[in-house]
């Protein structure tokens, strides 16, 4: 991690046409400190990581890890959450339909046969119990779907506020 971070600092500095001395001046550190970071001898401390990320206009994650890793700007995460919500909603509907069918079929059969047979009563009781279980599963999928909706709506709002702030900065 140190080697890659040092290389990233060097590359970002050069892309901004800054010398080690100029970058050091911006961060209020010595040129030798910049050299140690770029030569992979040490990593910048937290305070300087924040300063570097502000100067280079990248996240600390990107500076250290080389990739953008922000849940607030991830449109992929929002898309994945919408897909998970839709999938959960579909499973909830399937289980609700299955539970409804399993509840109605024994009642219709018992009514049409009109035989007070104890084995049929046991079968009906088991099917009603199975209905309850399936309905509980369906409800849990609907609750999960609702939670996904709330989470991605929150993330979309954060994304919107972030883009609005960026637009305000550029004005």
CA angle 61, 66, 70 (to 5 degrees): 40
pLDDT higher than 90, residue 34: yes
Which residues, other chains included, contact 162 with Cβ-Cβ below 8 Å and sequence gap of 6+? 72, 73
What share of the chain has pLDDT > 70, as a percent?
Answer: 74
Q: Which pTM value belongs to this model?
A: 0.41
Window from 4-8, 28-32, 85-89, 153-157 with minimum mean pLDDT: 153-157
Which one is predicted more confidently, 73 or 16?
16
pLDDT higher than 80, residue 111: no
CA distance 35 to 91: 57
Which residues, other chains included, contact 1 with Cβ-Cβ below 8 Å and sequence gap of 6+? 43, 64, 65
Of the pLDDT bands very low, low, confident and very high (cuts 50, 70, 90), residue 31 is very high
Mean pLDDT of 42-61: 88
Residue 139's pLDDT is what? 84
CATH number of the domain located at residue range(s) 2-65 in this protein:
1.10.260.40
Which one is predicted more confidently, 30 or 114?
30
Mean pLDDT of 38-58: 89
Nearest to 158 by CA among 79, 80, 81, 72: 72
Across the chain, what does the average pLDDT equal?
78
Token look-up 């599963």 returns 137
Nearest to 139 by CA among 92, 82, 99: 92
Window from 21-25, 57-61, 160-164 with minimum mean pLDDT: 160-164
């Amino acid at each position: 991690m140190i080697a890659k971070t040092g290389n990233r600092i060097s590359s970002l500095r050069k892309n901004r046409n800054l010398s080690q001395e100029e970058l050091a001046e911006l961060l209020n550190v010595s040129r030798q400190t910049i050299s140690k970071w770029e030569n992979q001898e040490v990593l910048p401390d937290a305070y300087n990581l924040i300063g570097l990320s502000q100067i280079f206009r990248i996240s600390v994650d990107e500076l250290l890890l080389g990739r953008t890793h922000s849940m607030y700007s991830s449109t992929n995460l929002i898309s994945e959450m919408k897909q998970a919500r839709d999938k959960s909603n579909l499973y909830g509907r399937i289980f609700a339909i299955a539970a409804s069918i399993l509840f109605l079929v024994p009642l219709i059969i018992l009514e049409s046969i009109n035989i007070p047979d104890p084995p049929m009563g046991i079968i009906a009781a088991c099917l009603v119990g199975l209905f309850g279980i399936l309905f509980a599963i369906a409800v849990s999928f609907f609750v999960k779907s609702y939670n996904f909706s709330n989470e991605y709506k929150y993330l979309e709002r954060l994304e919107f506020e972030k883009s609005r702030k960026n637009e305000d900065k550029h004005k």
